[in-house]
Amino acid sequence: MKNKISFLLFMFVIHAFAKHANGLYPESKISVLKELGNSSSRETIALNSNGNYNEIPYGVELITSEEDWLLFSPQKACCCYYMFDEKYKNLGLLYNLKAFEKIKNTLVNQSSDERVCIDEQWKNIFNDLKFKRKTVNQLNLNVYPGYYDEVWYKSEEMFSGYWVNEHTLVSFSGDNLGEPMVDDFIDTETSNGVLRNTILALSIRLTESKSNQCNESKWFKDIVNERGSKNTIKFITKSSDWEKYYYETPCCSYINFDPMYEDYGLVYNLKAYELLKDDQALKERGLRIATEKDWMALITCCKNKGTYPSLFNCDETNYAGFNLHPNGYYESYSWTLPTELNIGYWVGEGTEKKAYIFNCNSKEDIQIKEGFSYNSYPGFMIRLIRLD
């Protein structure tokens, strides 16, 4: 129950109506992105140039003036450039509601590798921004083409607006550091007596279709700092304590026992790994430890599709992807540091003592570590995966 309440609370977002230049919406309103769509949907953000649709498909008309937009947009599928001016072509196209619906259906009917990002996927984005502390840059949402809502919200002032559904838009502004502003009152009448959603010009966000995935979206892509139910995993700050407690106590530490590596997450001893594999608190959050079966299914699928290299984030610039980036691990009294471009994770099934080590210089070669000697005191990171 607590998890459900927390989820609903974070979806309440203040929409900044006070910014509207024409004063039609003087009061700030609290709005919530409703739980629409299929909750089993698992699409992830497509990693194209900026994630936005940018074509003029058959049946969608390009409009070049505000007068024509207000005349034709309530009647047929339309698109436009920012300020209705082709000189802003580099910012991409904006679409009315009829074009949004048409493009959404067309991508589905054509069995495209991409889909229009709608309710469930936007909730995933909000989750990334709110709870996983992602930024608009990491999610490729740092493109501000502006949008039209009776007046222009200017690209120069870092505004962008996206279709969610016929009732809802979400906008971003550089003024609020990329916090999403959700407006689910767009199907109301304007002062001119037309439905507001019929004259909006918004961007369309894309996702990758589920059929084109290897279930990467099931994987929790951020650092892991789990300490177990009731904080039972002991935090270690020096090598002598790591060796002292290793075989009796679930332990964790920062890389090199140094807080300067805090942003990489925690390294775990074998007992901590085994404890977390059966941790009830993780299960209640819909998560579990990824083991060898999960890793092999992912790697095999990605290699078959030719997308295996995209799992890696070796230069640590693309956190929107699978985010397999250099980390650190401990073995035989020695640390391997992120600067060595290795990536290590516990993967053992059951009571297996096994880890995978990836290398950014030779991505295809996965080193399997098992059969550790008694005094090697191995420590590796873990990845989490969502329960089916």
The 10s digit of each residue's pLDDT in 313-346 is 898 876 667 889 999 999 999 999 999 999 999 9
In angstroms, the CA 77 to CA 57 distance is 10
Rounded Cα–Cα distance for residues 14 and 175 (Å): 14
Could you tell me which residue, 382 or 323, shows the higher pLDDT?
382
Q: Taking the domains of the chain in order of start, what are their residue ranges?
A: 2-212, 216-386
d(CA 334, CA 316): 24
- Residue 208 parent element (H or E): strand 206-208
Which structure tokens are listed for 123? 């909730």
Mean pLDDT of 260-275: 96
For residue 206, what are the contacts with CB-CB under 8 A and spacing of at least 6? 45, 46, 48, 51, 52, 53, 114, 115, 116, 117
Q: What share of the chain is helix, strand, coil (3-state, %, to 5)?
A: 30, 25, 45
| pLDDT given at position 28 | 24
Beta bridge partners of 31: 13
Residue in the block written with tokens 């060595």: 340
- CA 69 from chain centre, in angstroms, equals 34
Q: Are 200 and 97 in contact (CB under 8 A)?
A: yes
Judged by DSSP in three states, 299 sits in helix
What's the order of all strands across the beta sheet hosting 114-116? Answer: 44-45, 206-208, 114-116
pLDDT of res. 327:
96
Dist CA 64 CA 66 (whole Å): 7
pTM above 0.75, yes or no: no
Identify the pLDDT of residue 115. Answer: 82
Q: Which range, of 23-32, 87-96, 334-343, averages the lowest pLDDT?
A: 23-32
Q: Which two tokens stand for residue 55?
A: 């074509």
Q: Is residue 89 pLDDT above 80, yes or no?
A: yes
Rounded-to-integer distance, Cα 312 and Cα 365, Å? 13
198-224 pLDDT, tens digit each: 999 999 998 866 555 688 878 988 889
